[in-house]
Structure 1
Amino acid sequence: MEPNASTHIRNIGIFAHVDAGKTTTTEQILFHSGRIRSLGSVDAGTSQTDFLEVERSRGISVRAAATRFTWQGVTINLVDTPGHVDFLSEVERSLRVMDGAVLILSAVEGVQAQTEVIWHALRERNIPTLIYVNKLDRIGADPIGTIQQIKRLLSNQAAPVQAPLGIEDRFSGAVSLLVSGISGSETEEAQLYLQQLEETVAEQDESLLVQYLDSGTLPKAELNQLLPELTQRGELFPILFGASNRGIGIEPLMQAMITLLPPPQIVSDGPVSGVVFRIERDAAMGRIAYVRLYSGVIRNRDSVRNETQQIEEKITQIRKIDGQKAEDVGLLAAGDIAAVCGWTQARIGDIIGSAEFVPGETRMAVPLLTVQVRWSNEAEYPAVVAALHELADEDPLLDLQWLQEQRELHLKVMGPIQIEVLTHVLNNRYGLKAEFDQPSVIYKETPAQSGEGFIAYTMPKPCWAILRFHIEPGERGSGITFSSVVRSERLLDRYQNEVARSVPEALQQGLFGWEVTDIKVTLVEGEHHVWHTHPLDFAVATPMGIMDGLSRIGVKLLEPMLSFRLSAPEETGGKLMNELILMRGEFDTPVVRQERMEIEGIIPVATSLEFPARFGSLTKGRGALATFFAGYRECPPDVKAERVRRGVNPLDQSKYILAVRNALSSS
């Protein structure tokens, strides 16, 4: 079955660094398309796509919002994503279901930290991308400087397809470089932009390059024909200009969205194949699953298989949602996006029907901090547990850990703004007053050397499980690797499967209570008993064997690292370098450009939690700091970090066996 294009649909994500004007641009697009009659405002808290109370009060987007409009006979599903790094998981989930993207930059601030993170993710998925340079009416707008930054930090294959008419308070719009005869007083400047476009296009094709070098120009007809092809192949990134708060540049951007970005590739006669990319709750309809369908058709009252969870659930209603409005459309066809009601078990990332046509995931968001939740009075404890379970359904990266015996709740978070938003949501949606402890860094453990772990679980009867593991360090970033060299006549396959299933669970807490990673575990010996063995014996024995091994060979702590790039006035460089050294930072020789110092390097998360705030005051607000997660690496020997263990330690074997057996018999 060959995929074919559904030409009347576009699935487009709008991405940007916080405050580049993303929600305002979405609002203007909806207004210009006739989808809404009056413009909302982010500052006034009346925009269509910021519909959570916290978004309205803070003026930031924290959830990806799906909306749709029609422009020149093409239906566009538009997803406005959050710009703040703390909500990167929302961006990540939206990326999976987009066929095209609009990346918004401010003409004043240029390429910012989050812009780069998103750009790398877009390139990893090879999503065709338009770059929209906004805020050309602002004091300090620098379109030429912004293009140079884009080419230096994002891609040399980015090129303007418009030339701005004036800047700052003289900005009146942009003229297309694709029409013949650019006229007016701006001609000379427009020629500079045209030259950039022609050079970038010519570099993509040898015969074009020869033609360009011979005549010094490229025919407009040739440019118009090549532009959509190059953009859709991800070989060219058109740059457009505007001032969204004044509605300037919006219609040319909408035109570019339908002419330059690709339609979805669909398999119309294939099996149902789709993915759930976000979960919402509705007071009347309950859980709502947003689904992108790649193949087949689903209808109201259909029973559809959830491949991930191996269950079947019935659809009660299929809705097309525009911001806060919804209509029951009864059907979702391949290539399109809709909200499905009635799936009470659906979770983010679930594959619907066949997985055959669903693209893989992009991992950008890695929560590096953990927080404990506190509730204001004991009567609210069950409600807080239920609310956090619901929120973890909507954002699986929160990875809620509920320690029932200790009555503790722990969440993984990206940063302080996310904690603030969670406090807000618990209060506004659930009426709960909860507080969060100071966040602490998530460390990991890894074997210090190679060695063996052994367990003979033969008492108290009836039980029999003997296991010997070879444990060794794995490469950094390799996670957990398990294999077995035991023949199935020595240890039946079903028992070996139980061991394989139990190893990752056993490694969730190492000697210091952190997850153990970058480890190779090989089962080298195993024995069961014909009468006394029960399959669960191996689930009980595996953690004891693994912990026995780790206690013999020891573990090393790993800490999360950030790579950083900063730019600051030259006179503050000395102070900044001292700060970086105190934080155990490592950096290259600073580069001085136009009285500004640029430094690149890596710093531990643990020592730099307060650095962004200090950086602002050290540079008197004139510095720019970009940080990216750079993986885990070994801590220096003097760093000690331990967390309280959940449950009984398998090293205390008799107590552990008793605790696990009680849990198994009561469940």
Structure 2
Amino acid sequence: MIRVLCLRQLLGLPQLNIFIADKLAKVKYSRHLSRGALFGCQYRMYSTANVDHEDMSKIRNIGIMAHIDAGKTTTTERMLYYSGLTRHLGDVDDGDTVMDYMEQERERGITITSAAITFHWDHHKVNLIDTPGHVDFTVEVERSLRVLDGAVAVLDASAGVEAQTLTVWRQADRYSVPRMVYLNKMDKPGASVGLCLSSIKQKLKVQPLLLNAPIGTGREFEGVVDVIMMEKLVWNSKICEDGIKFEKKLLSQSDGKLYEDALKARHHLIGQLADIDDSIADLVLADTKLDDIQSEAVRKAVRSATIQQKIIPVLCGSSLKNKGVQPLLDAVNLYLPSPMDVHHSFIDFYRTDLCALAFKVIHNKQRGPLTFLRLYAGALKSGSTVYNINRQCSEKTSRILQVYADDFQDMSTAVAGNIVLIAGLKQTYTGDTITSSQSSARAAAREFHKTKATDARNSEELGAPILAGVEVPTPVFFCSVEPPTMALQKQLDFALECLQKEDPSLKVDVDKDSGQTILSGMGELHLDIIRSRIANEYNVDVDLGPLQIAYRETATESTEVEEILDKKLGDRHHLVKMKISLHPDPSATQFKHVILMSSREENLDHVKKHQLKAIESGIQSGITNGPVLNFPVINVTVHLHSFHLGPGTSIAMVSACAAQAVHKALKQANTVLLEPMMILEINTDEDKLHGILSDLAQRRSHVDEIQSRQDTRVVRAITPLAELMGYSTAIRTISSGMATFTMELSHYEQMMPLEQAKAIERVTGFAPVL
């Protein structure tokens, strides 16, 4: 029995989706399909008008995430084509993809910014975000995963779990996003499902559940076996080059070893589910034959376990060869959660009022700032006024837009569960919570107080509940930026303001001593693309100064100081006395609160809350610039031992005294530099391995492990960032262009005195006295 997914082009209806008929329907297959003549082939089709956009159970908010070059964008382009949204197969190498629409993306062949798009598949609405794979743009992955209900992790089937895969996986763990894995590039030599399943278990520490087994590998890869349905799906590129048509038939004993392997895989799958799902366990314990367990029951169990993140469904295919993408789309609908399946407790506080998170801001030359919103509760109408809880201001929306990469379509209303683009919000930033009105925020705050007042020291200070924002990684590079003429300074300031609003990982500061504008970013590529965008989008051909490392500073000794601020300004006398101690603490990556150290001699209960906030503000200001090279100080805790305030003293003086005390303590605490250490992963041929290892030894690297993947070697090392400046050029020379590498921030590590002296000389131009 063969069932065929027919060509849209043959129907002359490219915007319609044609699906395989029900598994019991008998379909006669003909090689002579022609326009208007389907020869008995049964199919069903629908247009987007038939989809109920308000049925949250039919909505999927998903992201595509992976290591660089694993095939995310290619997979997304196939999804758009098979769903009927596009009429051509976009190719990254040709620079004609829908999702990589920026000029920089098409020139470099990489994804730089996360792109959103909406399409329909099997009566479901899919809001999809294609995320970057390069570590320099990890914040794009971070803020996308923050608002998604599910994600598809794409792996290179010949490489398994790679460095950036681990990074994006940890980001998804942070937001508890249910995931599935798609093993792409099954047509590559060395592609191995076993290798991938093993690396998923060992590196990601999760339980993979193989749903689609490959039929052949390498050049022999022709399709997959649906393990649950016991069906064979085969794509014949000679009959249908674009992969929209494929054969599907039930496996039988006549298929020999393929049938036996599929049956064995199905039994193993049911055994895995029996350990985590009660319904399947009951069937197994009731001595039900494994072959008799209904496919629908298995699918239901897989969906439940996926949403609870007990297992990770695994599918396979080759997106570039147009094989295996349709089963992946079916799996998205079947196993990843809808907005109804992911309950957020804060929704209860807003009830039917609007509750949305602004997770991204872009600038459009015609429309101005455009804000991406994920709606969690309520509805939003075009032209309505909304209230920004974080900024405590009201703004009017001008338009609601449905996003199709760089194209937009107007909507009159957006409802909970959707991701939309809003025009008109000029004061909204990434991470802000939006609600219907100020009264809605107050009502939510009252509900919030009822549940939190017993745990809070002062329930009156609790505002309306806000959605957790996006965690922005620490920049590791910085450089100066200057316009060609002073007349363009204002234009540059506007460009940087817009870009900083779009990209939270880009930091812009002004050096107090030199007056130069300083850019801080995630890497060389990140800052280079910022420079290109300023030139191309804002017509300012800026000059970037030499790239420098963003070091950190820390104290190596505990110290205690007493500070007195005694000043008379005008007719007011200001007097502040405080004693603090500063202590090294490797676990304190960021300063949060000062620790009160009450004693018999000094009781600090008299310190009021606004005074404590002023002290903490001063401490925060004091550790922003360390005494060695004015870099931020980390890994320290501050204790307050005594505090006295003269009558009439302003709060600003309290902060100033605390900042002076911290500066004094840091000078006495033997402050040293910390340098960023990077996780470096290099893929190279066997014959180039020795040269690469020799070079790493000269770069103060510590090699953790060397793995074998077929005919290649994977070197994983911890290396100081200062030693990796221009490494892309060096590794091309050493390996004759055959090696590739990725790196990401691991941690900060104390420098040796000699290396610290070199760093100080590089930054200041003067060699310190050792």
Q: Same fold (TM over 0.5)?
A: yes
**Greater Cα shift, 448-457 or 511-520:** 448-457
Asked whether 1:415 is paired with 2:523, we answer: yes
* Structure 1 portions without partners, runs of 5+: 647-667
Corresponding position of 1:129: 179
Corresponding position of 1:29: 79
Corresponding position of 2:661: 545
1:293-319 CA-to-partner distances (Å, cap 9, x unmatched) read: 112222223332212222222222221
Give the alignment's TM-score, normalised by structure 1.
Answer: 0.87
Corresponding position of 1:345: 427
Distance 2:679 2:289 in 1: 45
SS state of the match for residue 244, structure 1? Answer: coil
Corresponding position of 2:146: 96
Distance 1:594 1:138 in 2: 12
Give the alignment's TM-score, normalised by structure 2.
Answer: 0.76
Structure 2 counterpart of 1:259, one-letter code: L
- When residues 191 and 89 of structure 1 are mapped into structure 2, their CA distance, relative to the original with a 3 A threshold, is farther
Structure 2 counterpart of 1:264, one-letter code: P
Corresponding position of 2:577: 466
Contact map agreement 1:8 1:73 (CA 8 A) in 2:
yes
How far residue 50 of structure 1 moved from its aligned partner, in angstroms, is 1.7
From 360, 367, 390, the equivalent of 1:285 is 367
**Greater Cα shift, 617-626 or 416-425:** 617-626
**Greater Cα shift, 116-125 or 420-429:** 116-125
From 177, 182, 187, the equivalent of 2:251 is 182
How far residue 508 of structure 1 moved from its aligned partner, in angstroms, is 0.7
Contact map agreement 1:490 1:527 (CA 8 A) in 2:
no
Corresponding position of 2:90: 40
**Greater Cα shift, 590-599 or 298-307:** 590-599
Corresponding position of 2:454: none
- When residues 201 and 503 of structure 1 are mapped into structure 2, their CA distance, relative to the original with a 3 A threshold, is farther
From 490, 496, 503, the equivalent of 1:395 is 503
Q: How do 1:498-537 and structure 2 match up within 5 A?
A: 498-512=614-628, 513-531=630-648, 533-537=649-653
- When residues 489 and 26 of structure 1 are mapped into structure 2, their CA distance, relative to the original with a 3 A threshold, is closer
Distance 1:61 1:589 in 2: 29
Corresponding position of 1:321: 403
Distance 2:186 2:763 in 1: 54
Structure 2 counterpart of 1:304, one-letter code: V
Distance 1:609 1:361 in 2: 32
- When residues 153 and 132 of structure 1 are mapped into structure 2, their CA distance, relative to the original with a 3 A threshold, is same
Contact map agreement 1:159 1:196 (CA 8 A) in 2:
no
SS state of the match for residue 127, structure 1? Answer: coil
Corresponding position of 2:676: 560
Distance 1:39 1:600 in 2: 36
Structure 1 counterpart of 2:370, one-letter code: I
Structure 2 counterpart of 1:514, one-letter code: F
Corresponding position of 2:322: 247
SS state of the match for residue 104, structure 1? Answer: strand
- When residues 204 and 449 of structure 1 are mapped into structure 2, their CA distance, relative to the original with a 3 A threshold, is farther
Corresponding position of 2:335: 260
Contact map agreement 1:276 1:291 (CA 8 A) in 2:
yes
SS state of the match for residue 458, structure 1? Answer: strand
- When residues 399 and 139 of structure 1 are mapped into structure 2, their CA distance, relative to the original with a 3 A threshold, is same
1:149-180 CA-to-partner distances (Å, cap 9, x unmatched) read: 44443355223212333344443332322224
1:435-492 CA-to-partner distances (Å, cap 9, x unmatched) read: 3233222111112211123332223544333332222122334321413457678665
**Greater Cα shift, 582-591 or 256-265:** 582-591
- When residues 590 and 134 of structure 1 are mapped into structure 2, their CA distance, relative to the original with a 3 A threshold, is closer
Asked whether 1:609 is paired with 2:691, we answer: no
Distance 2:148 2:389 in 1: 21
1:60-89 CA-to-partner distances (Å, cap 9, x unmatched) read: 211111110122221111111112111111
* Structure 2 portions without partners, runs of 5+: 1-53, 231-249, 436-440, 449-464, 765-770
Corresponding position of 1:6: 56
Contact map agreement 2:227 2:265 (CA 8 A) in 1:
no
Contact map agreement 1:464 1:534 (CA 8 A) in 2:
no
Contact map agreement 1:178 1:220 (CA 8 A) in 2:
no
Contact map agreement 1:41 1:47 (CA 8 A) in 2:
yes
Distance 2:76 2:155 in 1: 14
Asked whether 1:384 is paired with 2:492, we answer: yes
How far residue 426 of structure 1 moved from its aligned partner, in angstroms, is 0.8
- When residues 510 and 362 of structure 1 are mapped into structure 2, their CA distance, relative to the original with a 3 A threshold, is same
Query: Is the radius of gyration larger for structure 1 or structure 2?
Result: 2
- When residues 185 and 398 of structure 1 are mapped into structure 2, their CA distance, relative to the original with a 3 A threshold, is farther
**Greater Cα shift, 82-91 or 360-369:** 360-369
Contact map agreement 2:186 2:317 (CA 8 A) in 1:
yes
The structure showing larger relative contact order (alpha-carbon pairs under 8 Å, at least 6 residues apart) is 1
How far residue 196 of structure 1 moved from its aligned partner, in angstroms, is 4.5
1:620-657 CA-to-partner distances (Å, cap 9, x unmatched) read: 566565544222222222222449999xxxxxxxxxxx
1:108-129 CA-to-partner distances (Å, cap 9, x unmatched) read: 4443322222122223433222
SS state of the match for residue 662, structure 2? Answer: helix
Corresponding position of 1:662: none
- When residues 58 and 645 of structure 1 are mapped into structure 2, their CA distance, relative to the original with a 3 A threshold, is closer
- When residues 621 and 190 of structure 1 are mapped into structure 2, their CA distance, relative to the original with a 3 A threshold, is farther
1:256-288 CA-to-partner distances (Å, cap 9, x unmatched) read: 111111101365944432211110112232111
Distance 1:363 1:211 in 2: 44
Distance 1:116 1:220 in 2: 35
Structure 2 counterpart of 1:562, one-letter code: M
1:354-394 CA-to-partner distances (Å, cap 9, x unmatched) read: 69887645647432222222332232222112211211111
- When residues 583 and 398 of structure 1 are mapped into structure 2, their CA distance, relative to the original with a 3 A threshold, is same
- When residues 372 and 220 of structure 1 are mapped into structure 2, their CA distance, relative to the original with a 3 A threshold, is farther
Distance 2:102 2:716 in 1: 37
How far residue 619 of structure 1 moved from its aligned partner, in angstroms, is 4.7
Corresponding position of 2:110: 60
Distance 1:24 1:597 in 2: 26
Structure 2 counterpart of 1:472, one-letter code: H
Structure 1 counterpart of 2:385, one-letter code: S
**Greater Cα shift, 260-269 or 591-600:** 591-600
Contact map agreement 2:389 2:466 (CA 8 A) in 1:
no
Distance 1:644 1:465 in 2: 39
Asked whether 1:70 is paired with 2:120, we answer: yes
Distance 1:426 1:184 in 2: 64
How far residue 227 of structure 1 moved from its aligned partner, in angstroms, is 1.8
Distance 1:141 1:594 in 2: 9
Structure 1 counterpart of 2:302, one-letter code: L
SS state of the match for residue 372, structure 1? Answer: strand
1:94-137 CA-to-partner distances (Å, cap 9, x unmatched) read: 00011111112233444332222212222343322222222334
Distance 1:81 1:194 in 2: 36
- When residues 607 and 625 of structure 1 are mapped into structure 2, their CA distance, relative to the original with a 3 A threshold, is same
How far residue 182 of structure 1 moved from its aligned partner, in angstroms, is 2.0
Distance 2:388 2:203 in 1: 41
Asked whether 1:478 is paired with 2:552, we answer: no
**Greater Cα shift, 344-353 or 146-155:** 146-155
Asked whether 1:449 is paired with 2:591, we answer: no
Identity %: 26
- When residues 312 and 38 of structure 1 are mapped into structure 2, their CA distance, relative to the original with a 3 A threshold, is same
Asked whether 1:119 is paired with 2:169, we answer: yes
1:217-246 CA-to-partner distances (Å, cap 9, x unmatched) read: 683534333222222222222222223234
Asked whether 1:440 is paired with 2:548, we answer: yes
Asked whether 1:219 is paired with 2:287, we answer: no
Distance 1:464 1:419 in 2: 46
How far residue 214 of structure 1 moved from its aligned partner, in angstroms, is 10
Contact map agreement 1:477 1:631 (CA 8 A) in 2:
no
Structure 1 counterpart of 2:307, one-letter code: Q
Aligned length: 642
Q: How do 1:192-231 and structure 2 match up within 5 A?
A: 192=261, 195-196=264-265, 198-206=267-275, 211=284, 219-221=293-295, 222-231=297-306
